């Protein structure tokens, strides 16, 4: 009887995960995950990079207080479309020098007004209970720092403070949309918005 109960519990949990609807952010500045946004349109706004063939493009605000990483969709989908946007209040792209943009990326917000410096409580008021509240420990979430993983291991460079927690919003099993909000001392210090695999 106990095995039947465990099976039913696992089955219902898996069914709920598959049916979970995405409730997170759908936009960050001009980038959206509810429709296709061309990489070119973002270049027009942020500045044309020197290497157009790259998969990711790094920008920083003129005052050096905000950093943005734009990543293309995977090759199998369409690399002319933007797939992931990462906005942070700390230096990103440790493997290259970010390109300076005149766009005020530090002011970029989600469609519900959440941006760098917003309170964690405001994120939950805007988007509801997250799919997951995760604690940042060890090398967790070091992937947020573009270029930090080199030659099969994380760099020994001093890394920026990623925060102490992450509010994660995901959809069901067949929904690739994700938004993640890195929290430090109750404030948003980075945002990742993705529709990529």
Cβ 136 vs Cβ 181: under 8 Å: no
Nearest to 180 by CA among 197, 161, 158, 165: 165
Of 137, 175, 191, the closest CA to residue 21 belongs to 175
Counting beta carbons within 10 angstroms of the beta carbon of residue 91, is it exposed (0 to 12), middle (13 to 18) or buried (19 or more)? middle
Give me the pLDDT at residue 13, please: 43
pLDDT of residue 108: 97
Domain boundaries, the chain: 23-194
In this predicted structure, what is the pLDDT of residue 145?
A: 82
pTM over 0.95: no
Q: CA-CA-CA-CA torsion for 22, 56, 68, 148, nearest 10 degrees?
A: 100
- The pLDDT assigned to 133 comes to 95
Per-residue pLDDT of the chain (197 residues; tens, 9 = 90+): 444 333 333 344 444 444 579 999 999 999 999 999 999 999 999 999 888 888 899 999 999 999 999 999 977 678 899 999 999 999 888 777 899 999 999 999 999 999 999 999 999 999 999 999 999 987 788 788 876 655 566 665 666 678 899 999 998 888 889 999 999 999 999 999 999 86
At 1 the pLDDT is 46
Tokens standing for residue 178? 């994700």
Q: Quick one: pLDDT at residue 156?
A: 59
Beta partners for residue 87, in sequence order: 68, 191
User: Given its phi and psi angles, is residue 139 left (phi above 0), alpha (psi -120 to 50 degrees) or beta?
Assistant: alpha
Whole-angstrom distance, CA of residue 107 vs CA of residue 78:
28
């Amino acid at each position: 009887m106990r095995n039947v109960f465990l099976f039913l519990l696992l089955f219902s949990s898996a069914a709920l995960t598959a049916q979970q609807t995405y409730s997170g952010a759908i936009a960050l500045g001009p980038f959206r995950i509810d429709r296709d946004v061309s990489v070119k349109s973002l270049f027009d706004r942020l500045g044309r990079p020197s290497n157009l063939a790259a998969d990711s493009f790094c920008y920083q605000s003129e005052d050096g207080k905000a950093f943005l990483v734009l990543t293309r969709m995977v090759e199998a989908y369409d690399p002319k479309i933007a797939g992931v946007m990462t906005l942070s209040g700390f230096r990103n792209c440790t493997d290259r020098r970010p390109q300076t943009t005149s766009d005020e990326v530090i002011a970029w917000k989600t469609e519900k007004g959440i941006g760098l410096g917003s309170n964690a409580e405001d994120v939950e008021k805007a988007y509801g209970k997250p799919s997951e509240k995760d604690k940042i420990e060890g090398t967790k979430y070091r992937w947020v720092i573009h270029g930090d993983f080199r030659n099969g291991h994380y760099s020994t460079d001093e890394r920026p403070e990623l925060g102490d927690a992450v509010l994660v919003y995901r959809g069901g099993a067949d929904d690739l949309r994700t938004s993640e909000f890195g929290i430090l001392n109750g404030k948003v210090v980075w945002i990742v918005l993705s529709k990529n695999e």
